[in-house]
Amino acid sequence: MNNPKDFRKRDDGVIVNKNTKDYQKARRRNALFGNEGKMQKTFIEVEDMKIRIQQTRDAEISIKQELLEIKSLLVDILSQNNNGV
């Protein structure tokens, strides 16, 4: 028969067996890094991704602006050639 001390209730209300390998791994991982450290790492990764996405969008906008400038210059050159010839 199972000992009641082998079980515990998690914060989300789920009852878990403390003798399982997964539970022991999680205990060791949390002892080394802690849940907050894990969440902090994830938060930093998300913030880095947001920065990279914003930089990519900024680069796309600047490329589009440069293409529009090139297009307007080409239109000017073509209109001058048509008028001059």
Residue 38, domain member (yes or no): yes
pLDDT tens-place string over residues 23-63: 777 777 776 666 665 666 777 788 889 999 999 999 999 99
Q: What percent of the chain has pLDDT over 90?
A: 34
What domain range includes position 47? 22-83
Residue 12, domain member (yes or no): no
Number of domains forming the structure of the chain: 1
37-69 burial: b if 16+ Cβ within 10 Å, else e: eeeeeeeeeeeeeeeeeeeeeeeeeeeeeeeee
Residue 15, domain member (yes or no): no
Residue 41, domain member (yes or no): yes
Mean residue pLDDT across the chain: 81
Residue 60, domain member (yes or no): yes
